[in-house]
Amino acid sequence: MTRIGSVAELRADMVGAVIQPGDPGYDEARSVWNGDIDRRPAAVARCASAADVAAALAYARDAGLEVAVRGGGHGYWGAAVPEGGLMIDLSTMNRATVDVEARRVRCGGGASLADLDAATQEHGLAVTGGTISHTGVGGLTLGGGIGWLSRKCGLSIDNLVSAEVVLADGRVVRASAQEHPELFWALRGGGGNFGVVTEFEFRLHEVGPIVHLGLFFYEVDRCAAALRRGRDLIAGLPDDAGAMLVALDAPPAPFVPEEHHFARGVAVLVAGFGSAEEHARLVAPLREAMPPLFELVTPLPYTELQSMLDDAAPWGSHAYTKALMLEDLPDAAIDVLAERLPSKTSPMTLVPIFALGGAYARVGEDETAFGGSRAARFALTMDAVAPDAETLAVDRAWVRSLWEAMRPFARNAGSYVNFMAEYEEDRVLASYGRDKYDRLAAIKAEYDPGNLFHLNANIKPA
């Protein structure tokens, strides 16, 4: 490996740009989705290829700099931005190429969900991918990848076929079931611990281009009843439907009557991927049992479903989150949520509850490194989102208090690692469990023995 001693040498060795403090565009390059993050890397290596990534890693090792990787820049913790370190920025590596006949897509490590969905939906194909379109494919996938299609298609990692990875020592390898199978297992849920993924290859499914959405909103006084109705409806849904319960303030959207803008309450959302008639049958019991304050039942492009929540978490929001995996949502847990919802401060703060089961549950616990129980029926997230740091501080305390109150309803304090704003070592261990964590630690020792990639939900080398 050639030593790269200075930034000037790194610039000469890379095709992509190297940006330092004082350079034009530096503040933009270091910014991420969470406006609460304000760190200053020593340099940003905007890589254009796997070779660029290898050169940047060599420079960081020689310079003794901490390394962080920026895909979509959407993480709550701001793990993409190392104070005084080197940010490896993959944002220009965002191309997605579809093989329609094989039903495969290859996308760069810097692709967003919007980039991925735009390419695949040209052919009526999709893979599970989040609920906010400006999320990065890389971070989402490496942690697991929950989305609207989880019940129909499983997690993003359940559809990962291969990955191109730049390892800590600069080697570029392809990980799959046939090549580096232990690394491939670890990448499917083990986070960014094992290398820089510069390309993902996914299996695709027929979805869209038109899907169906039912959104039913209930005011805060009926919060508990709405959550119970939504929970019971979800229990009877076929796998070919996605669902979410969200405690939130009604947005000032065109479909919301003006007198209900910012009303506090609960929305029950059901997405259907079959016919309009099938979807109508799915949502009819909810409307008949408890008429909502307002509703939206409509066909829409799959890409719009994927982006409909973007305005709930706009770029630059100040944000914090905690989460739990729940095997059930009992009445007692619903009562806690209903009691505490009125006391949040920011109208942007919300509590999404993702419905799991279906294809998600049919994957064995040990088939992937996913750090969340496959027996869980719900992923409960508590998101403090605010326009400024002061309001965030208030709702951060609200989220922490709510998490403590909800903790007795979860098997352990672990969580889906993508829903962590603080990577406490005990919670990371609880998420994976001792056996899975030890296997990950052994793989880490093989592929990153020096723990170069540690600004994440860190797995320490065995």
Q: How many residues does the chain have?
A: 462
Residue 256 resides in a domain: yes
- The answer to whether residues 81 and 30 touch, using CB atoms and an 8 Å cutoff, is yes
Closest Cα to residue 113, out of 165, 74, 78? 74
Q: Distance (Å, rounded) from C-alpha 456 to C-alpha 437?
A: 14
Same domain, 49 and 107: no
Q: Which of 89, 116, 147 is the last residue of a domain?
A: 89
Read off the tokens for 112: 């967003």
pLDDT, position 5: 62
- The answer to whether residues 336 and 289 touch, using CB atoms and an 8 Å cutoff, is no
Same domain, 351 and 249: yes
The structure's pTM equals 0.95
Q: Which of 89, 115, 141 is the last residue of a domain?
A: 89
Residue 454 resides in a domain: no
Q: For position 116, which CATH number holds? A: 3.30.465.10
The tens-digit pLDDT sequence of the chain (462 residues) is 344 567 899 999 999 999 999 999 999 999 999 999 999 999 999 999 999 999 999 999 999 999 999 999 998 989 999 999 999 999 999 999 999 999 999 999 999 999 999 999 999 999 999 999 999 999 999 999 999 999 999 999 999 999 999 999 999 999 999 999 999 999 999 999 999 999 999 999 999 999 999 999 999 999 999 999 999 999 999 999 999 999 999 999 999 999 999 999 999 999 999 999 999 999 999 988 899 999 999 999 999 999 999 988 899 999 999 999 999 999 999 999 999 999 999 999 999 999 999 999 999 999 999 998 899 999 999 999 999 999 999 999 999 999 999 999 998 777 788 988 887 788 899 899 999 999 999 999 999 999 999 999 999 999
Q: For position 13, which CATH number holds? A: 3.30.43.10
**Is the peptide bond preceding residue 209 cis, with omega within 30 degrees of 0?**
yes
Same domain, 72 and 128: no
Same domain, 34 and 121: no
pLDDT, position 1: 37
Same domain, 319 and 279: yes
Same domain, 298 and 405: yes
- The answer to whether residues 138 and 112 touch, using CB atoms and an 8 Å cutoff, is no
Q: Distance (Å, rounded) from C-alpha 321 to C-alpha 457?
A: 14
Residue 16 resides in a domain: yes
Q: Distance (Å, rounded) from C-alpha 401 to C-alpha 375?
A: 26
Q: Which of 89, 119, 136 is the last residue of a domain?
A: 89
Residue 243: which domain range? 210-419
Residue 452 resides in a domain: no
Q: Mapping DSSP to helix (H, G, I), strand (E, B) and coil, where does residue 352 land?
A: strand
Alpha carbon 91 to chain centroid, angstroms:
17
Same domain, 356 and 238: yes
CA angle 310, 403, 417 (to 5 degrees): 60
Same domain, 271 and 305: yes
Residue 2 resides in a domain: no
pLDDT, position 102: 98
CA angle 185, 130, 341 (to 5 degrees): 120
Strand spans (E) along 344-451? 351-355, 378-386
Tally the domains of the chain: 3
According to DSSP H, which parts of 180-255 are helical? 181-187, 223-235
Query: Taking the chain, what is the end-to-end CA distance rounded to the nearest angstrom?
Result: 25
- The answer to whether residues 199 and 109 touch, using CB atoms and an 8 Å cutoff, is yes
Residue 100 resides in a domain: yes
CA angle 336, 338, 342 (to 5 degrees): 115
Q: Distance (Å, rounded) from C-alpha 450 to C-alpha 429?
A: 20
Q: Mapping DSSP to helix (H, G, I), strand (E, B) and coil, where does residue 84 land?
A: coil
Query: What torsion do the CA atoms of 353, 354, 358, 361 make, to the nearest 10 degrees?
Result: -90
Same domain, 349 and 368: yes
Residue 426 resides in a domain: no
Same domain, 25 and 164: no
Same domain, 151 and 44: no
Residue 1 resides in a domain: no
Q: For position 348, which CATH number holds? A: 3.40.462.20
Burial class (CB in 10 A: 0-12, 13-18, 19+), 331: exposed
Task: List beta partners, residue 201.
Answer: 106, 162
CA angle 201, 168, 105 (to 5 degrees): 5
Same domain, 224 and 140: no
